[in-house]
Structure 1
Amino acid sequence: MSEVEIHGECDSRFAGVREAFEENFTERGDVGAAVAVTLGGEPVVDLWAGHADAAGTRAWERETIVNLYSTGKGVISLGVHMLVDRGVLDLDAPVARYWPEFAQAGKEGVTLRHVLSHRSGVVGARRLLPEEAKYDWETMTEALAEAEPWWEPGTRHGYHVWTWGWIVGEIVQRATGRPVGAFIREEIADPLGVDFFIGTPTSEHGRIAEIVPPSRNPLPEPDVTSIIAMAHNNPPWSFEEANTVQWREGAVPAGNAHGDARGLARVYAALANGGELDGVRLLSSEAIEAARVLQSEGTDATIGVSNRYALGFQLPSPELDDPRPETAFGHSGVGGSQAFADPAAGLGFAYVMNRIRGPGDVRARSLVEAAYASLEAGA
């Protein structure tokens, strides 16, 4: 693409973010995307551009939403910490306190803290599951309740790619009586006035951007002897699946939340500003500090790289050449999306897109670097 029309608003102090966003289209292959930045709780960048489909027939508009993949985990983590803050959940209580069936197969000592920090060992079922199983909540929770951990809980960490969502979601549902999607909508999205759906209503499908898959499938074949295969692709899934009604309306919390950059940046604006935004209190400042304490670091058992996790949030990893400072915390999603808060800078940030990229993707990084360069220049 030789040129692209950028829509939205950008404070002149953050002109570098707009420039980097444009370069994501002209130099880095973006199809459709949005970026939002808040500073001190106020929006300073709210931009969108490109197309909401691979054919280029639908413009990416202000109200466009897109599948967020694991970037949604950060918002779900916020919901969990709200319940901890209220005394409904206890980070160090066994999961079985809320979900008794989970105590099977040596999991009686697995705690909520283990799950949030990717240390539970329950990174995949122990039997092959059919593709459609991911859309059946009871099937997935039963498979995980009966599963033996892949390592002794608490002794190492490995990204719980898909299982994280069903385990955390079942805990939330058992503790509140509400499905996790309804809880997040009622307690976070609606009070803040943001778009965030787990199980997107049919009425909203017309504004969902189509995912543009990579040219090749990077997923391993399901194999009950492989921790990586069982963590990443059991039940089997595909990027193309994100464009189906079943995926959009289903409850796959670890990967099928839909939303936009504006809403994500607004959520993280609250976390960057003591837990409150525009009179809406989500978390106490003490709970925010507890949520971002390092829990896991070193080589990840299911990804194979060195990374760092707090309680449901990813932390900057120098080994991954992460440009963010130590004070940032948030979550990224497969394919390129990213959202985070930096309380020290008062910064909320989010970037979402529909074109899936793999290793070496620098689209989000370029925007993050531009945002911090703007701050360093006196924004």
Structure 2
Amino acid sequence: MSNVQGYFDPRFESVRDIFAAQQQDPQARGSALCVTIGGETVLDLWQGVVDKDNQQVWEQDSLVNVFSCTKPLGAVAILQQVEAGKLGLDTPLADVWPEFAQAGKAQITLRQVLSHQSGLSAVTETLPPEALFDWNVMSSALAAQRPWWAPGEAHGYAPVTYAWLVGEPLRRVSDTRPGQYIQEHICRPLGMDFFVGVPDQDLPRLAHLSRLRNQYGDEYARALFASMGKPEGMGFKAFGNPSSMMVSSNERHWQQAEILSANGTGNARSLARFWQVLAHGGKLGEAHLLDSELVDEMRREHVQGMDRTLLAPTRFGLGVMLEQPYEGGGFGMGPQAYGHPGAGGCLGFCDPETQVGFGYVTNAMGPYVLMDPRALALSREVYQCLRSVD
């Protein structure tokens, strides 16, 4: 267990032991865990390696792509614009993005986009690989896209298109590139070592991503992967159009793009810090993310039921997943917990009841749709420790 670095409160030693035991898996590479309770950090741990040759150890300041754990930062960024009165949750998005009104989208609202009800989970037209890294091409493709279903009548997760559905309105009302906005208004004020678009000088700190072999996930993962085998279907296009979505995560143009749905790069400490503030209703000490009324709206259930993209039952607030109604789909804490997993196993969330902020990251990607069993084992043990203290 000597491989584990960092700090742990003795009350949570069993969590540290589980974290260390996970490194015994022959396919394990690197990971980090950070947990806050109230204003206090009780776990800040890291272990393993960052490079593909397993030679370079994971350091205190190593960074990794956290995929969809980025989405709540985009949600907070656009909700800050709502707080400032620059756009409304329930007014047409086309008010600030006129081109968006075409193809039956004139009445789609920011609320529908944030809760995955807009019917814009994927772009139908096959786009060239380089389109993913051209902001204007992606924004224009979504402006032209006809919804896959009548907006508001169902929900289907938007794994990648969310970046432009949220980011283009953000860019227009803030007059700032989305990655820059998130850096200036969320990451820097909170002291988060986190980027949506990694600067040149920070690229050497990035961990190399790899996939766990011979693991097939649960029934929902298998159904999703089967749907992705149909090239004209929404599942395939949501995750694979442009095709560069599936193959670029270790490449510099992905690492430095500003895809606020999927390419946030940071560490467990940064995720825990973000969620620590939200666990306290959006304000903690000098840190202010959002007014508590908007945080309450963010974590209120907006949709629940079978997700047309993920082919699993999901519950969403605004830009966040809520506790899910099936075994292994939730956060492993109280029923009010909310946050977001990232492809491959990363997880960031809070539980307002216990005032927990939680961040877990790894560069060994598993095949699960929502929660990864590694992160879930850790969060469940944190909860057990809290209950035994009480």
If the length of structure 1 is used for normalisation, what is the TM-score? 0.95
Q: Post-superposition shift, 1:26?
A: 1.5
Describe the SS at the equivalent of 1:67. Answer: strand
Q: Measured at CA, do residues 31 and 133 of structure 1 come closer, stay the same or move farther in structure 2, by a change above 3 Å?
A: same
Q: Who is 2:233 aligned against?
A: 226
Equivalent residue for 1:340, pick from 322, 343, 349: 349
Whether the 8 Å contact between 2:277 and 2:289 is mirrored in structure 1 is: yes
Describe the SS at the equivalent of 2:296. Answer: helix
Q: Post-superposition shift, 1:82?
A: 2.0
Alignment partner of 1:354 is 2:363: yes
Q: Who is 2:274 aligned against?
A: 267
**CA–CA distance in structure 2, aligned partners of residues 38 and 174 of structure 1:** 35
Q: Post-superposition shift, 1:28?
A: 7.7
Q: Who is 1:83 aligned against?
A: 81
Q: Post-superposition shift, 1:290?
A: 1.1
Q: Post-superposition shift, 1:287?
A: 1.6
One-letter amino acid of the structure 1 residue matched with residue 196 of structure 2: I
Q: Measured at CA, do residues 252 and 82 of structure 1 come closer, stay the same or move farther in structure 2, by a change above 3 Å?
A: same
Q: Within 5 Å, which residues of 2 pair with 1:173-322?
A: 173-215=171-213, 220=228, 223=231, 225-237=232-244, 240-321=247-328, 322=330
Q: Who is 2:374 aligned against?
A: 363
Q: Post-superposition shift, 1:33?
A: 0.6
Q: Within 5 Å, which residues of 2 pair with 1:1-16?
A: 5-16=3-14
Cα root mean square deviation, aligned = 1.8
**CA–CA distance in structure 2, aligned partners of residues 345 and 327 of structure 1:** 10
Whether the 8 Å contact between 2:248 and 2:254 is mirrored in structure 1 is: yes
Whether the 8 Å contact between 2:307 and 2:313 is mirrored in structure 1 is: yes
Describe the SS at the equivalent of 1:340. Answer: strand
Describe the SS at the equivalent of 1:241. Answer: coil
Q: Measured at CA, do residues 44 and 84 of structure 1 come closer, stay the same or move farther in structure 2, by a change above 3 Å?
A: same
Whether the 8 Å contact between 1:4 and 1:25 is mirrored in structure 2 is: no
If the length of structure 2 is used for normalisation, what is the TM-score? 0.92
Query: Which segments of 5 or more consecutive residues in structure 1 lack a partner in the other structure?
Result: none
**CA–CA distance in structure 1, aligned partners of residues 59 and 32 of structure 2:** 9
One-letter amino acid of the structure 1 residue matched with residue 323 of structure 2: P
Q: Post-superposition shift, 1:150?
A: 0.1
Q: Who is 1:142 aligned against?
A: 140
- Please list the CA deviations of residues 244-279 of structure 1 after superposition, one character each: whole Å capped at 9, or x if unmatched: 111111122211110111011011110111322341
One-letter amino acid of the structure 1 residue matched with residue 258 of structure 2: A
Whether the 8 Å contact between 1:16 and 1:370 is mirrored in structure 2 is: yes
Q: Within 5 Å, which residues of 2 pair with 1:77-156?
A: 77-156=75-154
Q: Who is 2:219 aligned against?
A: none
Query: Which segments of 5 or more consecutive residues in structure 2 lack a partner in the other structure?
Result: 217-224
One-letter amino acid of the structure 2 residue matched with residue 306 of structure 1: P
- Please list the CA deviations of residues 104-133 of structure 1 after superposition, one character each: whole Å capped at 9, or x if unmatched: 100001100000000000111120011111
- Please list the CA deviations of residues 69-114 of structure 1 after superposition, one character each: whole Å capped at 9, or x if unmatched: 0011122212222222222231111110110000010000110000
- Percent identical among aligned pairs is 37
Describe the SS at the equivalent of 1:194. Answer: coil
Q: Measured at CA, do residues 267 and 126 of structure 1 come closer, stay the same or move farther in structure 2, by a change above 3 Å?
A: same
- Please list the CA deviations of residues 152-186 of structure 1 after superposition, one character each: whole Å capped at 9, or x if unmatched: 00000000011111110001001100111111110
Q: Who is 2:66 aligned against?
A: 68
Equivalent residue for 1:326, pick from 331, 335, 344: 335
Describe the SS at the equivalent of 2:116. Answer: coil
Q: Who is 2:53 aligned against?
A: 55
**CA–CA distance in structure 1, aligned partners of residues 167 and 229 of structure 2:** 26
**CA–CA distance in structure 2, aligned partners of residues 127 and 243 of structure 1:** 26
One-letter amino acid of the structure 2 residue matched with residue 235 of structure 1: P
One-letter amino acid of the structure 1 residue matched with residue 5 of structure 2: H
Q: Who is 2:17 aligned against?
A: 19
Q: Who is 1:373 aligned against?
A: 384
**CA–CA distance in structure 2, aligned partners of residues 207 and 289 of structure 1:** 36
One-letter amino acid of the structure 2 residue matched with residue 64 of structure 1: S
Q: Measured at CA, do residues 16 and 29 of structure 1 come closer, stay the same or move farther in structure 2, by a change above 3 Å?
A: farther
Describe the SS at the equivalent of 1:242. Answer: coil
